[in-house]
Amino acid sequence: MTAEAIPDFPFDRATALEPPTELAELREQCPVAHVRLPSGDTAALVTRYDDARAVMADPRFSRNLARDGAARLSTTKDGGLFSRRKMGSEDISEGQGHLRWRRLLSRSFTVRRMEVWRPRIQAMTDELLDSLVAKGSPGNLSAGLGLPLPVRVICALVGAPSEDQDKFAHWSRTMLTLTRNTQEEVDEAYQGFNTYVSDLVDRNRANPGDDLLSELTQISDSEDGRLSQAELIATVRGLLLAGHETTSNMIAIMVAMLLSERERFEAVIDDPELIPGTVEEVLRLDSTLSAIGGVPRFITEDVNLSGVEVPAGSTLIPNTPAANRDPRKFPEPERFDPRRENNQHLTFGAGPHFCLGQPLARMELQVVLGTLARRLPSLQLRDAPGDLQLRTGGISGGLQDVWVTW
């Protein structure tokens, strides 16, 4: 393959909600395909379900693209989020250290602990929807509900003031740049975010509460090797960033996907038992949340994927939207079916790095969908689905403001 033949990635697309046609073509014809990233480096795009899952779940493969020889994603000098040196939090990023770190956090994300949050999430959703409705139709669903709900939830869970959400939103977006920010802006964002979190830890130490930050600060202060101060700050920063850039985008995407083919929304109004299955299909069929479709892995050993020998030293991008439409795994993959059984999509990943916040994200999406179906059954998109615009320039994608009428 010549350098000229390597296509630029991310691929263009006809409309925001439709995945680029190249993904299906590659999945059938070239399941491990070289692509050129915005940095100019090349990586291999993995588009079949079994291969993508294998790449995500293999504990030998590293998510640390700061390693020598790994591809850089972004146009900034540091190569982007996954290439940045972890500055004191390397130990919790991979392997046994990562497992121990997860054990500290996962107690706050168990199914039982999440159920305690359901009524609070419902109350926050109702309150935000009251304000949106009070302002009158049409309303900006992204700004009025999609962004503020996950931010309030994660801030309450962590123990951070949600009034500062504009700051975290700005820092998070900047840290996730693909093509939109300069190195200087990225450095400023890290400095700002780290200082903010460090101050938050100090304030919280003086006045602890019943939240995750207080719990983690105590663990860190005990200096028993479980969590260093640098790891504590990286953890809190990561939780706040994740609370902004994933669930918030997904709420707007969900509303757009359901209202663009409105029978999907009407089915939920008629039968609220379809809420969980509808959320799962939205998660499976989304192709916008991540601009690159998944978290890259750097492989340190050769691997065989669909008969292709991939050499050690390659950077692989398991592409979730392509894998989630693989007919080898999902019968009639293009069909939106809220009654689909064994819907084991890869939107939350697989393996030891499986999304920590997954039960919270699922609950927020379910509460939002149930509330909209119950309270605003006349909900419609203000604009034609074809006019929805992607957010571009970042690793995290999603849609620009989604406006609705009722």
Q: What residue ranges bind another protein (CB under 8 A)? A: 57, 99, 102-104, 106-107, 109-112, 114, 342, 344, 348-354, 358-359
Q: How far is the CB of 341 from another protein (least distance, A)?
A: 8
**Cβ closer to another protein: 67 or 103?**
103
**Cβ closer to another protein: 24 or 104?**
104
**Cβ closer to another protein: 178 or 295?**
295
Q: How far is the CB of 145 from another protein (least distance, A)?
A: 25
Q: How far is the CB of 352 from another protein (least distance, A)?
A: 6
- Residue 199 backbone dihedrals phi, psi, to 5 degrees: -65, -40
**Cβ closer to another protein: 353 or 391?**
353
Q: How far is the CB of 59 from another protein (least distance, A)?
A: 9
Q: How far is the CB of 217 from another protein (least distance, A)?
A: 18
**Cβ closer to another protein: 106 or 195?**
106
**Cβ closer to another protein: 185 or 337?**
337
Q: How far is the CB of 254 from another protein (least distance, A)?
A: 19
